[in-house]
Amino acid sequence: MINKISTTFGSEYILDQIIKNHPNRRLELFVPVKPNGNLQLLDLSNLESVFSSPISYKVLNHSGTDNWTSFINYLEINADDNEAKIINAKLNGFINSSTPPTGMDSIYYLKKNNGSNTITVLTTWMDESYFNDWYKKYQQQNNSYLPLIRDFSTNYYSASFINIKKW
């Protein structure tokens, strides 16, 4: 089980060098769905980060089968303390008791190691089309955590990436 995830962003050349210099690590390289020039490298090794400027997460909860070879989506939510408690309960309920949506391989509930109160949800999918189908239908799913971003006055950010091997 993955307990710690570290990530960094950069050019393909620089990130490829990191991969070559650390062959003993479980590293996955992703291209953003909405091109912004920076690729993302994930370290799934459960070890201290080798990145010079990492974003590191502790895994608070997880469900599913790890498959990092296709499509991933991040949802970062900035909520006040009361909203965070409700989101936490709803998200843990979704992870622990729900049947995952069709095409979702796994879901991670993450906490940044920098002391931020940001709630991060990382999902892995068989394919981008499964994510898009689910995202369009989420308002009809009472057990989904996504309506929470609409129900509260939360600030959120979402980003999606495709594994470079698939791209």
The pTM of the full predicted model, rounded to 2 decimals, is 0.89
pLDDT of residue 144 exceeding 80, the answer is no
Region 77-91: what's the mean pLDDT?
Answer: 83
Question: Would the pLDDT of 113 be above 80?
Answer: yes
Give the number of other Cβ atoms within 10 Å of residue 103's Cβ: 19
pLDDT of 1: 83
Encoded tokens for 20? 């070559």
Q: What is the pLDDT of residue 94?
A: 83
131 CB-side CA count, 13 A: 22
The correct CATH number of 4-163 out of 3.30.9.10, 3.40.50.10310, 3.30.70.100, 3.30.450.20 is 3.30.70.100
Radius of gyration, CA atoms only, the chain? 16
Is the pLDDT assigned to residue 103 strictly greater than 80? yes
